[in-house]
Chain A
Amino acid sequence: MNVVILGATKGMGRALARLCAESGDRVFLLGRDAEDLRRSCADLIVRSGQHQPVEFALCDLEQSASFEPAIAQAKQALGHIDAIVVTAGQFATQDDLESDSALLERLLRVNFVNTVLLCEAARKLLLAQGGGTLCVFGSVAGDRARKPVILYGASKAGLAAYLNGLDHKYYASGLRVICVRPGFVKTGMTAGLRPPPFAGEPEQVARDVRAALRSPRPVIYTPLVWELVMSAISVLPRAVMRRINF
């Protein structure tokens, strides 16, 4: 399987790229820091048993002009792309976003506007080659607004709505869309937060996502227990949600 990953130098993306490389997939990385990408490519080459070249192209979620050329480079290197995975995104606490409107604007643009633009570029390329999988990381924070993640959650909810529609419109044309909804996962992104119960490890997310790339479903929760947690939260009455602080 030929997999393109944006966000593979860190966190869940790094774990997924490693699992794919170790399992024999051909991996191509997208990211914004050439030196960082070079180091991750070296890591993946060694882990893959030195059988596969791992290459990269520059692609910055803050620069929408970089999307199309980067995806085209990936296509050229791999020949055929089976899946494009977007794990990159931005996170900030509710307090920080409420007090810093520039930060808020940047987060909304990166997580929603630019991620949608990137997905559009990916969709066109995948449809042009007759189909393929577009796998994008949302968040359980996009399921139902909770007090600590309202703004971050809104950006991910918008993204989820878009991905849901993409599946409706292009399923018949061969596009498979996966919206991954990770619960709390222990990565560098969440290192400043206290892990709640059911906090997951990036390796577990990687296993779930790689399995989903093989048999795509429109939505996956990972670790799986978060599907239960979120379905419980989604049926809580509004009066209760107004009182609780998680």
Chain B
Amino acid sequence: MTRSTRIVGWGGIGTEGEERLSEDLVRISEGVPIARGLGRSYGDSAVPPPSQPVILGTTLADRILSFDESSGVLRAESGLSLYELNRIFLPRRFFVPVTPGTQFVTLGGMVASDVHGKNHHVEGCFGEHVLSLKMRTGTGEVIECSKDVHADLFYATIGGMGLTGHILEVSFQMRKIPSCWIYQETERVADLDTLLDALGQAAEKWPMTVAWIDCLHEGRHMGRGILYRGRWATEQEAPAYAPKPKIRLRVPFQLPSWAMGKQSVRLFNSALYHQHIPRVRKGIVSPEEFFYPLDAIRDWNRIYGKQGFTQHQAVLPASKGRAAVRRFLELLTSLGGASFLCVLKDCGAQGSGMLSFPMPGTSIAMDLALRAHTQTHIDRLNELVIREGGRIYLTKDALTRPEHFAQMEPRLSAWQKVRDKWDPTHRVRSAQSVRLFGDKP
């Protein structure tokens, strides 16, 4: 069944079109340009091309097809959400090896974006733990691929933004965890150098790390922020009961555009920094609180108003050192970009997905409200990313120019060869691939 609706990314950019929804993905997936799950990609990657405004909605295809308790291998239809997976498996002490910052994503989306998380320096991206995929390719075939069978398609699909075909089923490795709680330490850090030092040190001892920074603060205290480090709590540390799902607040309507103006964001960032005591804070928290703080507020994207917003997430290579991070933040503050949240994470090795985002270095992610000058800001940031030898995360992107992306991505032509082989006429395509790869609009 199809329904006319607005098909938009999380940032609000999109088109009028039809969403095809059914429990039977094999039946309805043929001939549709692109698929989407829960619509959490920020930009236009899960938005159909303008001339064919139809999208495959996967969320009704959410059955678990097998789970082996001894090996932890799980197979499910691609529309299964991480929220549901956590609800079922946390109490049984199993967890996904890699989780992004929201649980309102589907397995198919996690593969297409090759999501990373707070444990990237240890576990890599989600794709490293995927064993096989069932796909509907652009030519209409339904096939299984893995590192042994059709390996080119498999690796091009991990992080391939859904452009190598529709993901129908996913087999991957779940992890046994010692308890369903997290032991967390947080620390307030006064400037960028100390923060990057602390992040590096934490990575040696802790499986999960991340930092939030106040990216509006200039001068000596530029890059001040809060460092989060955590690990699964041991059985002795953890409460005997499983955490209860939290009550979610809602943003009931779109806020006016001035709500996210520079002054209110400055105030918010300052408050977030100062509410943390100067000492290290330690304690047991629920995985929901640790991994998904923003999930506590449903529809939080509405705070950016009708005009919407975009994210810019870039990784700057470790070889350029912390000077690169400093140059990036200096550019950002000079542009006056007001970001509600700015998140820093040191990434580990590059993944095996052919277009997988992370590389060894520092990832910086931030929101930018969509205004007249946003395109210029993104261009300036991207030019710096190119100079530093870094790259951007397509899942967040709506505004990068094709020539910029090509300069960041030496791996692009190899990936395009595989895509051409499986779908010579690019029947599978998105608004993003029209913008970045010159597909038929």
The interface of chain A, by Cβ under 8 A from chain B, is: 9-11, 14, 22, 36, 39-40, 42-43, 46-47, 49-50, 187-194
Contact = CB atoms under 8 A, between A and B. Distances in A.
A191 B23 contact: no
Given A192-B2, A194-B3, A46 B66 contact: yes
B401 interface: no
Interface of B: 1-3, 19, 21-24, 60, 63-67, 69, 88, 92
A191 B1 contact: yes
Given A49-B92, A50-B69, A192-B3, A43 B64 contact: yes
Contacts of A39: 63, 65
Given A49-B92, A189-B1, A192-B1, 11 more contacts: A22-B88, A39-B65, A43-B65, A46-B66, A50-B67, A187-B60, A188-B1, A188-B23, A190-B1, A191-B3, A191-B21
B2 A191 contact: yes
Contacts of A190: 1
Given A42-B66, A188-B21, A191-B21, A47 B88 contact: yes
Max chain B Cβ within 10 angstroms of own Cβ: one of A9, A36, A42, A190? A42
A11 B88 CA distance: 19
A37 to B, nearest CB: 11
Given A39-B65, A46-B67, A194-B3, A188 B92 contact: no
A14 B66 CA distance: 17
A39 B21 CA distance: 18
What are the 4 A-B residue pairs with the smallest beta carbon separation, nearest first? A192-B1, A191-B1, A43-B63, A191-B21
Nearest to B21: A191
Contacts of A22: 88
Given A9-B23, A14-B23, A188-B21, A46 B1 contact: no
Contacts of A191: 1-3, 19, 21-22, 60
A41 B21 CA distance: 22
A193 B65 contact: no
A7 B1 CA distance: 18
Contacts of A50: 67, 69
A224 B24 CA distance: 30
Contacts of A187: 60
A188 B3 contact: no
A51 to B, nearest CB: 11
A193 B4 CA distance: 9
Contacts of B2: 191-192
Contacts of B66: 42, 46
Max chain A Cβ within 10 angstroms of own Cβ: one of B21, B23, B88? B23
A86 to B, nearest CB: 18
Nearest to B5: A194
Contacts of B1: 188-192
A159 B24 CA distance: 28
A42 B23 contact: no
A9 B2 CA distance: 20
Contacts of B69: 50
Max chain B Cβ within 10 angstroms of own Cβ: one of A11, A40, A43, A49? A43
B60 A188 contact: yes
A47 B64 contact: yes
Contacts of B60: 187-188, 191
A50 B67 CA distance: 9
A187 B57 CA distance: 12
Contacts of A14: 23
A218 to B, nearest CB: 31
A10 B1 CA distance: 13
B65 A42 contact: yes
A14 B60 CA distance: 10
A190 B19 CA distance: 13
24 contacts: A9-B23, A14-B23, A22-B88, A36-B24, A39-B63, A39-B65, A40-B63, A42-B63, A42-B64, A42-B66, A43-B65, A49-B92, A50-B67, A50-B69, A188-B23, A188-B60, A190-B1, A191-B3, A191-B19, A191-B21, A191-B60, A192-B2, A192-B3, A193-B3
